[in-house]
Structure 1
Amino acid sequence: MKPQFVDILAPAGSRAMMEAAVFAGANSVYLGVTGFNARRTAANFEVDELPEAVAFCHARGVKVNVALNTVLYDDELPDLAEVVRAVAKSGADAAIVQDLAVARLVRQIAPGLALHASTQMSVTDLAGAKALAAQGFSRVILARELTADEIREITAHCGIETEIFVHGAHCMCVSGQCYMSAFYGGRSGNRGACAGPCRLPYTAEGKTDALLGLKDLSLMDHLPEIRDMGVACVKIEGRLRTPEYVAAAVDSARRALANEPYDRAMLEKAFSRSGFTAGFYENHYLTGEMFGHRTEEDGSATKAALPALRELYRRERQSVPVKLALEMLPDRLALTVSDDIRSLTLSCPVVYEEAKNDITPALQRSLAKTGGTPFFAEEITCKILPSKFCPLSAVNELRRDALAALLEQRSAITPQEVRDIAPEPITRAMPRIPKLRARFASVRQLTAEAASMLSAWTLPLREAGQVPEEYRAKTVLALPRALFDDKMVAAALETAWRFGFRRFEAQSICGVGLIRQTLPEAEISGGFGLNITNTLSAKEYAGQRLASLTLSPELTLAQANAISAEVPLGLIVYGHMPVMLVRACPMRNVMDCAVCKQQGSLADRKGMVLTVECSGSGPAGAREIYNPVPLWLGDRMQEVGTDFATLYFTRESAQEVQQVLKAFMQNEPCEGNFTRGLYYKGVS
């Protein structure tokens, strides 16, 4: 049985990186357009550079996926629409998107452009992948945190292509669910400007280490198994790296998929953080062995390896098969060269001499010399005139001209269909007086007095059995932010339904899909983890019959107040915001799970303490890391113009909940340290 083809997808943060990827043997590249991708500090490509980049790649049989994988604000959507048109006209193959507003514009403007769901959409389960398939996505890029069994299950049953990261940097947080860079420094990871605060040193239990930094991922040893799972594409991270790094990773992946040995030591020298890890894939992510950071020794090794690495892409790789047919006509030579879809013939006059021997072998050797081009001779045929000899210099020149002409034909741009659509009117929302809601970590925080002040409240799904019957009608049960075990969560949903609960909240497309799949009649609300930052995205989720939506905490109040949709919209106005959602536990660097009690804390360089809470060490478990100081808008509620405002309670006692609620009801300022979050300063 012939092995399944697997697409090796390489990063192209610059023209030099793109060429290195192609010359080293990548099947596809992904690149960003300046301003609208998750690696804004990479060199990236201007819109007018796209056609040339696509032509270069397509001529060599390499596909181009364009990353449009950030969330956008309302005032950016017209410019994004123009970028979508330019991407389609360039002939690019696919758009990688995070924001459903971008997906909507791609479907409307360039329906022939394939939609790939970015890993920023936090897809960790089968239900999420199926939900995206139903929305017209042809590929889903799965979260890096999945095990081999989880990847296999999703790939086998989701109905669209799956793509996984197999090499490169590991974000500590589930992609799309990190707000640490935004809250710490105003630079949003969801908008491509992550400052990497997780790479800084933190202290826990008196020990200082890079407790939030993971080693780089490498699954090269597992690529044959991944291919056999049916994964369509293996992706290399690294648009901020170098051409040498890209070439090393592509070459290693190509060899590994061919069951050939690759130079792991050289791959580590190209770039690593204290070596590599496959902890998530191999299902040993709770051992503490995944953590690492970039050392001076790592940097020195990379510098020493650069000359050898450049040899991997110094020459054009001959990867495109062609057939060459030479015919000696009475007064000229004719050469036909053809690839899989096109054929062309060139000829030149020639004066023959008498030949003593069969010249066919010499002609074949001459035609096989395709070095310096992307072509290799898959088949060579020669139709000669008996006893005639032609100068090999003429054959060589004809071969060069024919291959150059074929390359030019292959470089011709085939634009995608582009539709002219009228911009969708964005009606500015009328000023609203928000109703007060709350999120509780435990039903023990919910008292009768608190309930009387709130229009609704959210509790974790696991609390369903503890909620008094009189509170159930106003209770929304929230699914875990990380969904790694569909079966367990689906069973909990069914149990809650039997208890009489009808309202549920999802923090990702996975949650939306799982609720709808398990309880088709349930009311679904969208949490802040959906990262809704514009009106079109809000309308997309409203069109999927979500009953209410919590907007992203990375909006300013002015931006949030201006968003409108057909369903109630809200903001979080109080609480220790969850700034990271992680599967690998940072506390395992300093303690064992047996003594952790599912709680811990990390201190940053300024002595600020981040709380870590664990939902369990089993396959469904994850860790939440919370901002050191609470968000507070109690004295600014008159400036909040959404339909509802949520107080996000975590460790507060019932008494403290009462105090906060009363302070908000009376528009009081915070008595201790607090933050206004990003509601006034915004993010870059």
Structure 2
Amino acid sequence: MNRIEILAPAGSMESLIAAMNKGADAVYLGGNKFSARAYASNFDNDNMIKAVDYVHSYGAKVYVTLNTILKENEIEEAVRYVGFLYEIGVDAIILQDLGLFKRIKEEFPDFEIHASTQMTIHNGEGALFFKEKGFHRIVLSRELSIDEVKYISKDLGIETEIFVHGALCISYSGQCLMSSMIGGRSGNRGRCAQPCRMEYTLKGINSGERKAYLLSPKDTCTIENVKDIIDSGTYSLKIEGRMKRAEYVAGVVDNYKKAVEKELYKTEYNVNKGKRELLQLFNRGGFSNAYLHKNLGKDMMSFNHPRNTGVPLGKIEKSGEIILKENIALGDGFRFRDTGFNINKIIKDGLEVKEAKRGEKVKIFPKAYKIGDEIFKSLDKKLFQSLEDSLKPYNRKIDLTAKVSFKISEPLKLIVTYNDKEYTFLGEIVNKAEKKPLSKERIIEALSKSSDSVFKLNEIEFINFEDGFLRISDVNNLRREALESIQKSITKSYRRKRPEKNEKIKEEINKKVSFDIMYQCITKEQLKAILEEGATDIIIDVFNRDKDALKIQDIINLYEEKNVNIYLKIPNIIKSEFNTVVNLIEKVKNYIKGIVTVNAGIIRKYQNELIIIGDYKLNIINSEALKFYQKEIHVPTLSLELNRKEIKTMLKGNKGNIQGIVYGKTELMISEYCPIGSTFGEKSSCKDCNLACTRDKFTLIDRMNEKFRVMTDIFCRSYILNPSPLNLIEEKEDLVSLGVNSFRVEFRDESYNEVKKVFKMIRHEEEINSKEYTKGHYRRGIE
């Protein structure tokens, strides 16, 4: 029988308690630093110890999130913090930064590590790459279908974790720089400002425009897909929600626990009722199972409202009444448009009532709405009240069996069994009864009381009993002492001693690769301009959907006609088309010198065959992560989230290859969802796509009138580009002085003339107009 873990979010102690009371098998939580939910309450060291002990007392597990990328000056502090977590018995670390991973493997080799979804692991080869490096579990990208999850989990035998419920990022996690580039709040550092929840206008040159919350997806709900998920072989079902209320955590854990038990043990559970409850707890215009069954279009989006919408109550009729689609009661929350209230009066058939049922016609107050308004029930007071008990510490008890010896002139003896192990406790001496002896029933009643403990004594039997006397307070004290002692022995068993430090192994790095500036292009016009300028190291992207996009044959022709070094740009995301991409690489392998990629699967397959240049979305911002990649690939590229000072500190003493981007429109988002197809193509899946992206050029416009170009690739993924190109051409010599030994110029949607202009700037033949470009984070940095 499958073992399935229900993994709950714990943004606070209250949420953690709620998760345990509802039967979660594990919780994930963050400390005060290095967590991808920097704005959650999180746990200081004292509360972290309490949290770990509390969860372990239930026999459940604690995973701590250190899933942000770390700056150079944070690595040592993070390693010390890992040591603290190791000692107090944390079961596993969830991380993104490969520098921290490298150090943990060196200093705490037996500490279990889970690869965060921020690492964008989305294909079998990538999962194998990180498993072979020492990750115990892979938290898969949310974008995988059930068949893709099954292949990695069951066919490859990799322990995986998938998100089953909660908020969804529209961009691949770990590949989003939108919040970072717009306002300096990096999603890779847990400080995302959620620009995807803003309103945008999508405009085509010839296709018109549409305004809506075009990047705001509905929350995921897979409660109806639990059987498929179990059959996929995944191990852990992860619930999103460290920023949500404890009642939300309780309700969601409860429903998924029951849904899993229904499939595994054939227990009773009404999925439809459960889904209604989940909708009431939180939803954004309904739910989606999105990528699980490849529903990638407008059906997964909440175009009209980016926040909790509640559930529809009905429309206000001319009479000012509403025919209810849901039950209501005084104190429930309701909203219309962007306004919300609590119901303080209900009128039915001219009479004031405390509640009303679905199908009844009523007036609700306060009456700030207008005729024709759609009304939504945003809060179910009874539902939240029903979940309040789950917020009380130790509300769920673990029953233990006990044996009692009650003999005159001997101590009261209590033998408690937990996990097939017997614990013996002695109390006060039992006295001869001068008046009324203490009865068996009275002793059982005292021992069965509910203590401030995870345990409760049940099935109490007497191995000896004589008519003696003992104060009831002495019986109570023994019960408390016994349960507290067992609980402490359990939590203490998780504690560890730090291992002895190993001698540092000499770092291996790949050999030097020599080139100055590489030029990356997408279109034939761009390539023409690059060749005219005499470039010798050229990166070609043949995966774009632009009308003038380069193809495989262009690479072969270029090799045969020109004396240049050709590199192939590989998409960051390669899912079910992995073999297609591999076949394409094989076709041109004899014509190219190497590839540019961040895809771990491609790195694993070709690291011993081709020169590999790691792109900037490897998110390298510290020297330890750089060392990790310099061992695996030939040329890592600096993260665009680094500032000058950080680059200088990070590269001090570095003797390997390192590349920097000096020009290009930064790729802010990569998504399976395409706003063009969903808005102008009525796309609800890739099969329905009318390829509107190939017939026009599209731009997303935000409320500040910033214009973000949207492009697509041949696999129907969308890419959102920064409005202003990064331009560090003037900083090239400075970067050389810092230790950067190669550079890249990226052309995405530039015309022939714009390409020529960039070459003139490189040759110092044209001044750089600072208003047209950005230096990105080179001077400012990120939070």
**TM-score, structure 2 normalization:** 0.79
Q: Deviations over 1:144-175 (max 9, x none)?
A: 11111111111113443101111111011100
CA distance in 2, matches of 1:419, 1:341: 34
Partner in structure 2 of residue 596 of structure 1: 692
Give the percent of matched residue pairs that are identical in Structure 1 and Structure 2. 29
The alignment yields a C-alpha RMSD, in angstroms, of 3.2
* Equivalent in 563, 582, 596 of residue 490 of structure 1: 582
The 8 Å contact of residues 450 and 658 in structure 1, kept in 2 or not, is answered as no
The 8 Å contact of residues 78 and 423 in structure 1, kept in 2 or not, is answered as no
Q: Deviations over 1:596-655 (max 9, x none)?
A: 134532111122221111224xxx431111111211223333332311221110112333
Give the drift of 1:84: 1.6
The 8 Å contact of residues 520 and 745 in structure 2, kept in 1 or not, is answered as yes
The answer to whether the aligner puts 1:313 opposite 2:401 as a matched pair is: no
CA distance in 2, matches of 1:120, 1:290: 22
Question: Given the superposition, is the C-alpha separation of residues 184 and 157 from structure 1 closer, same or farther in structure 2, using an over 3 Å criterion?
Answer: same
CA distance in 2, matches of 1:206, 1:501: 41
Partner in structure 1 of residue 41 of structure 2: 43
* Equivalent in 273, 277, 283 of residue 294 of structure 2: 283
The answer to whether the aligner puts 1:248 opposite 2:337 as a matched pair is: no
Q: What SS does the aligned partner of 1:41 have?
A: coil
Q: Deviation above 6 Å: which 4+ runs of structure 1?
A: 359-366, 386-394, 421-426
Paired residue type of 1:410? I
Paired residue type of 2:74? E
Paired residue type of 1:475? I
The answer to whether the aligner puts 1:408 opposite 2:488 as a matched pair is: yes
Paired residue type of 1:316? Y
Where structure 1 has 5 or more consecutive residues not aligned to the other structure, the ranges are 427-432
The answer to whether the aligner puts 1:469 opposite 2:559 as a matched pair is: yes
Q: Deviations over 1:241-261 (max 9, x none)?
A: 221221112111211111223
Give the drift of 1:274: 1.8
The answer to whether the aligner puts 1:568 opposite 2:571 as a matched pair is: no
Partner in structure 2 of residue 95 of structure 1: 93
CA distance in 2, matches of 1:162, 1:231: 5
The 8 Å contact of residues 403 and 415 in structure 2, kept in 1 or not, is answered as yes
Give the drift of 1:277: 1.2
Partner in structure 1 of residue 104 of structure 2: 106
Question: Given the superposition, is the C-alpha separation of residues 589 and 225 from structure 1 closer, same or farther in structure 2, using an over 3 Å criterion?
Answer: closer
Q: What SS does the aligned partner of 1:76 have?
A: helix
Q: Deviations over 1:219-278 (max 9, x none)?
A: 122223322322111111121222122111211121111122363233223222222211
The answer to whether the aligner puts 1:625 opposite 2:636 as a matched pair is: no
Q: Deviations over 1:385-434 (max 9, x none)?
A: 489999988666543432222122223251253444789999xxxxxx99
Paired residue type of 2:489? Q
> Which of 308-317 and 486-495 deviates more?
308-317
Give the drift of 1:362: 8.2
Paired residue type of 2:722? N
Question: Given the superposition, is the C-alpha separation of residues 264 and 434 from structure 1 closer, same or farther in structure 2, using an over 3 Å criterion?
Answer: same
Partner in structure 2 of residue 501 of structure 1: 592
Partner in structure 1 of residue 126 of structure 2: 128
CA distance in 1, matches of 2:603, 2:300: 33
The 8 Å contact of residues 320 and 376 in structure 1, kept in 2 or not, is answered as yes
The 8 Å contact of residues 121 and 508 in structure 1, kept in 2 or not, is answered as no
Question: Given the superposition, is the C-alpha separation of residues 368 and 508 from structure 1 closer, same or farther in structure 2, using an over 3 Å criterion?
Answer: farther
CA distance in 2, matches of 1:381, 1:650: 77
> Which of 34-43 and 165-174 deviates more?
34-43
Q: What SS does the aligned partner of 2:641 have?
A: coil
Give the drift of 1:590: 2.0
CA distance in 1, matches of 2:598, 2:187: 17
> Which of 139-148 and 344-353 deviates more?
344-353
Paired residue type of 1:677? G
> Which of 10-19 and 469-478 deviates more?
469-478
Q: What SS does the aligned partner of 1:613 have?
A: strand
Question: Given the superposition, is the C-alpha separation of residues 549 and 16 from structure 1 closer, same or farther in structure 2, using an over 3 Å criterion?
Answer: same
> Which of 231-240 and 412-421 deviates more?
412-421
> Which of 645-654 and 464-473 deviates more?
464-473
What does 1:341-360 align with in structure 2 at a 5 Å threshold?
Answer: 342-348=421-427, 349-351=429-431
The 8 Å contact of residues 663 and 745 in structure 2, kept in 1 or not, is answered as yes
The 8 Å contact of residues 198 and 306 in structure 2, kept in 1 or not, is answered as no
The 8 Å contact of residues 113 and 416 in structure 1, kept in 2 or not, is answered as no
The alignment of Structure 1 onto Structure 2 pairs a total of residues equal to 669
What does 1:447-596 align with in structure 2 at a 5 Å threshold?
Answer: 447=528, 450=531, 453-460=534-541, 462=543, 463-467=551-555, 468-470=558-560, 474-485=565-576, 486-497=578-589, 499-516=590-607, 520-544=608-632, 546-564=633-651, 565-592=654-681, 593-594=689-690, 596=692
The answer to whether the aligner puts 1:442 opposite 2:523 as a matched pair is: yes
Question: Given the superposition, is the C-alpha separation of residues 106 and 333 from structure 1 closer, same or farther in structure 2, using an over 3 Å criterion?
Answer: same
Q: Deviations over 1:537-596 (max 9, x none)?
A: 11101112x111111111113322443344321121212111000111222442113151
CA distance in 2, matches of 1:549, 1:70: 19
CA distance in 2, matches of 1:11, 1:491: 41
Paired residue type of 1:506? T
Paired residue type of 2:219? D
CA distance in 2, matches of 1:454, 1:563: 30
Q: What SS does the aligned partner of 1:552 have?
A: coil
Where structure 2 has 5 or more consecutive residues not aligned to the other structure, the ranges are 203-207, 263-268, 311-332, 335-377, 508-513, 544-550, 682-688
Q: Deviations over 1:471-504 (max 9, x none)?
A: 586111121111112222222222222x433411
Partner in structure 1 of residue 453 of structure 2: 373
CA distance in 1, matches of 2:395, 2:765: 67
CA distance in 1, matches of 2:308, 2:233: 39
What does 1:196-275 align with in structure 2 at a 5 Å threshold?
Answer: 196-204=194-202, 205-259=208-262, 260-261=269-270, 263-275=274-286
Q: Deviations over 1:316-357 (max 9, x none)?
A: 243545332233445443211132275321133334779xxx
The 8 Å contact of residues 557 and 680 in structure 1, kept in 2 or not, is answered as yes
The 8 Å contact of residues 10 and 250 in structure 1, kept in 2 or not, is answered as yes
Question: Given the superposition, is the C-alpha separation of residues 397 and 47 from structure 1 closer, same or farther in structure 2, using an over 3 Å criterion?
Answer: closer
* Equivalent in 637, 648, 665 of residue 763 of structure 2: 665
CA distance in 1, matches of 2:307, 2:91: 38
Q: Deviations over 1:34-53 (max 9, x none)?
A: 22111111121223443232
CA distance in 2, matches of 1:487, 1:9: 33
Q: What SS does the aligned partner of 1:82 have?
A: helix
Q: What SS does the aligned partner of 1:590 have?
A: helix
Partner in structure 1 of residue 754 of structure 2: 656
Q: What SS does the aligned partner of 1:594 have?
A: coil
Paired residue type of 2:755? V
Q: Deviations over 1:13-38 (max 9, x none)?
A: 22222222222222111111222111
Question: Given the superposition, is the C-alpha separation of residues 449 and 605 from structure 1 closer, same or farther in structure 2, using an over 3 Å criterion?
Answer: closer
The 8 Å contact of residues 297 and 674 in structure 2, kept in 1 or not, is answered as yes
Partner in structure 2 of residue 15 of structure 1: 13
Question: Given the superposition, is the C-alpha separation of residues 142 and 416 from structure 1 closer, same or farther in structure 2, using an over 3 Å criterion?
Answer: farther
CA distance in 1, matches of 2:692, 2:441: 75
The answer to whether the aligner puts 1:675 opposite 2:777 as a matched pair is: no
Q: Deviations over 1:367-397 (max 9, x none)?
A: 5555653235676544244899999886665
Give the drift of 1:137: 0.5
Q: Deviations over 1:38-90 (max 9, x none)?
A: 11111212234432321222122121111111111212212122112111122
The 8 Å contact of residues 507 and 530 in structure 1, kept in 2 or not, is answered as yes
* Bigger CA radius of gyration: 2
Partner in structure 2 of residue 430 of structure 1: none
Q: What SS does the aligned partner of 1:231 have?
A: coil
Q: What SS does the aligned partner of 2:162 have?
A: strand
**TM-score, structure 1 normalization:** 0.90
